[in-house]
Structure 1
Amino acid sequence: MDVDAQSENEDVPRPRPQLTTNCGLLAEVPECLPTVAQWLHCEWYAARGMSPQETENLLTERMRRSRLPMCAVAVRDSEAVGTASLLAYECPEVHADPRSVLADVFVPESQRGQRIASSLCRWMIDRAAAMGVEQLFVMTAGPPVLYKRLGWRTVQRNLPGPRGQKITLLVLDVGASRLEGAPGRRDVTHKIDVPPDRRTTTDGQRLTDND
Structure 2
Amino acid sequence: MHIEYLCDRPEFIEELAELNFNEWGEFAPGDSLQARIELMRSACGKGEIPSVVVALQASELLGGALLIDSDLEVRPELTPWLAGVYVKTEHRGKGVASRLINHVVEEARKLGVAQLYLYTDTSQSLYARLGWEVVEELVYEGLPVVVMKFRLCD
Note the C-alpha offset of 1:57.
Answer: 0.4
Q: 1:38 to 1:92 in 2, by over 3 A?
A: closer
User: Contact between 1:73 and 1:81, CA under 8 Å: does it hold in 2?
Assistant: yes
How many residues align? The count is 153
Normalising by structure 1, we get a TM-score of: 0.67
Q: What does residue 55 of structure 2 align with? A: 74
User: Contact between 1:46 and 1:52, CA under 8 Å: does it hold in 2?
Assistant: no
Normalising by structure 2, we get a TM-score of: 0.90
Match for 2:131: what amino acid? G
User: Contact between 2:71 and 2:81, CA under 8 Å: does it hold in 1?
Assistant: no
Q: What does residue 127 of structure 2 align with? A: 147
Q: 1:131 to 1:106 in 2, by over 3 A?
A: same
Match for 2:49: what amino acid? L
C-alpha separation between the residues in 2 aligned to 1:140 and 1:84? 13
C-alpha separation between the residues in 1 aligned to 2:73 and 2:27? 24
Could you say which structure has the greater relative contact order, defined with CA pairs below 8 angstroms and 6 or more residues apart? Answer: 1
Aligned mate of 2:140, from 136, 161, 171: 161
C-alpha separation between the residues in 2 aligned to 1:126 and 1:79? 24
Match for 2:111: what amino acid? M
**Matching of residue 34 in structure 1 with residue 14 in structure 2:** yes
C-alpha separation between the residues in 2 aligned to 1:29 and 1:143? 27
**Matching of residue 133 in structure 1 with residue 117 in structure 2:** no
Note the C-alpha offset of 1:152.
Answer: 0.6
Structure 1 stretches of 4+ with a deviation exceeding 2 A read 45-51, 90-94
Sequence identity, in percent?
A: 27
**What does the per-residue CA deviation read over 1:93-120, in whole Å, with 9 as the maximum and x for residues that have no partner?**
65x6341111100011111111100000
Note the C-alpha offset of 1:54.
Answer: 1.3
Match for 1:130: what amino acid? K
Unpaired segments of 5 or more residues in structure 2?
none
**What does the per-residue CA deviation read over 1:44-98, in whole Å, with 9 as the maximum and x for residues that have no partner?**
125533222211001000111132221110010111101110111165765x634
SS at match of 2:80: strand
**Matching of residue 124 in structure 1 with residue 104 in structure 2:** yes
Larger Rg: 1
**Matching of residue 171 in structure 1 with residue 149 in structure 2:** yes
SS at match of 2:2: strand
Unpaired segments of 5 or more residues in structure 1?
1-20, 177-211
CA RMSD, 1 decimal: 1.9
